[in-house]
Amino acid sequence: MPEHTPIGLENPAAPVSAVTHSGNFHLDETLGYVILHYALAPDGDLRGRVMGTGPDGRLTFTRTRSPERIAAADIVFDVGGRYDPVTGRYDHHMKEKPLREDGTPYSAAGLLWKDYGMAAIRSILKNPAPEPEVAAIWQSLDRSLVLPIDLDDNGMTKMGKLSLADIVSACRPTWDTVELYGPDAAKTRETEGFANAAVAVAGHLVNMIDRVRASLKAESRVLAAYAQAEDKRILLMETGMPTEKVIFDHDLPVVYVVSPAAPDRWNVKAIPPVRGDFGQRVSLPEAWRGLDGATLASVSGVADAVFAHPARFICGAASRAGALKMAQLALEIDAAQAKG
């Protein structure tokens, strides 16, 4: 996090000019532009600002290699040969590159994320969030999105096909664009390509922030439900949500998760021994395997039992009480079988 106040954040009304290089573009500077958009002028037109057709908000954005225009800009990123955030310079192509604490070199996107990421997150969130939650979202995306971009842009790890980097690359004009359409049309296609890439990256960033927000909310609810559970092997959730990540992250001894799946359906899902595995810590009873309806109700003793999957990892009942009873019975049956 910055020790200084980044340019543009000290006065939310002051106009800010930002510059990156023209020509071939990558995910690095595309994300950098998107970060500045949300941090400084989310009311502007993300695509229109690039094309020169939409309202800028207070952020003016230019792609150029003109030394004079670069020198005159408030914020310069991925070009200019300087990293000096106090003066708004965010290049990373120097011999002495700016490094993360672990020695990983930053990309321009990583440098801007460090200074402007929190402000961008606050703008993107639909409802105000406490600072610890904003910081947790920032940290999660720094690890899952920004760090891979740093590594890719510095030639350390390739993000590969169908990655966000590949999507941005696909927006670039082909090598023979000038030959086919002439220099003026080629310049227009390049600008359109960057604008299209920015829209795609912005959508991805917004979706990732929302997913991390929801994940943190789920973590809070899962831990609260676990604290209230009488039998710590059965996690009873009143709302369906992802639980497996929290269970493994916090090393919870949960065997079954009971949660609603539809207005008239509650499911019992077995937790695998290893996250993402297909096995179960405790499989559902063999006698229930593949049964449904009245047959399952008769065999299980749960009147509203609905189904039991042949793979023995999930079953369900029509009511909360019925599903909870199925989970309890499954543990009792397993304990009896273990005794021999």
The pLDDT confidence band at residue 246, using thresholds 50, 70 and 90, is very high
pLDDT exceeds cutoff 70 at 160: yes
d(CA 33, CA 18): 8
CA within 13 Å, CB half, 54: 15
What's the angle, vertex CA 248, arms to CA 247 and CA 252, rounded to 5?
Answer: 50
C-alpha distance from residue 193 to each of 23, 189, 217, 276 (Å): 11, 6, 36, 38
Class of residue 66 by CB neighbours under 10 A (exposed 0-12, middle 13-18, buried 19+): exposed
pLDDT exceeds cutoff 70 at 1: no
Largest CA distance in the chain: 83
The pLDDT assigned to 123 comes to: 97
Q: Where are the alpha helices (DSSP H) in the chain?
A: 27-40, 46-51, 67-72, 108-124, 131-141, 147-153, 164-170, 177-181, 183-228, 244-249, 293-300, 320-339
Percentage of the chain beyond pLDDT 90 is 94
The pLDDT assigned to 277 comes to: 87
The pLDDT confidence band at residue 4, using thresholds 50, 70 and 90, is confident
d(CA 113, CA 31): 9
Residues comprising the chain, all counted: 340
The predicted model gives 108-119 an average pLDDT of 98
C-alpha distance from residue 85 to each of 9, 97, 301 (Å): 13, 14, 68
Short-list 337, 287, 289, CA closest to 313:
289
The predicted model gives 130-135 an average pLDDT of 96
Q: pLDDT tens, 6-29?
A: 999 999 999 999 999 999 999 999
Task: Check residue 301 and give left, alpha or beta (phi > 0: left; psi -120 to 50: alpha).
Answer: left
Name, of 3-12, 51-60, 231-240, 273-282, the range with top average pLDDT: 231-240
d(CA 205, CA 30): 12
Taking the model in full, what pTM does it have?
0.89
The pLDDT confidence band at residue 276, using thresholds 50, 70 and 90, is confident
d(CA 206, CA 192): 21
The predicted model gives 139-147 an average pLDDT of 97
Percent helix, strand and coil across the chain, each rounded to 5? 50, 15, 40
The pLDDT confidence band at residue 161, using thresholds 50, 70 and 90, is confident
The pLDDT confidence band at residue 207, using thresholds 50, 70 and 90, is very high
Mean pLDDT of the chain: 96
Q: pLDDT tens, 51-73?
A: 999 889 999 999 999 999 999 99
The pLDDT assigned to 137 comes to: 98
Q: pLDDT tens, 91-104?
A: 999 999 999 999 99
Q: Which distant-in-sequence residues (6+ apart) come within 8 Å of 213 by Cβ?
A: 125, 129, 133, 137
pLDDT exceeds cutoff 70 at 2: no
The pLDDT assigned to 235 comes to: 98
C-alpha distance from residue 253 to each of 171, 276, 284, 315 (Å): 47, 16, 16, 20
The pLDDT assigned to 3 comes to: 75
Q: For strand 265-270 and strand 16-20, is the pairing parallel, antiparallel, or unpaired?
A: unpaired
pLDDT exceeds cutoff 80 at 340: no
Beta pairing partners, 257: 235, 269
The pLDDT assigned to 339 comes to: 87
Query: What are the boundaries of each domain within the chain?
Result: 16-219, 229-338
Hey, what are 9's tokens?
């954040």
The amino acid at 323: A
The pLDDT confidence band at residue 140, using thresholds 50, 70 and 90, is very high
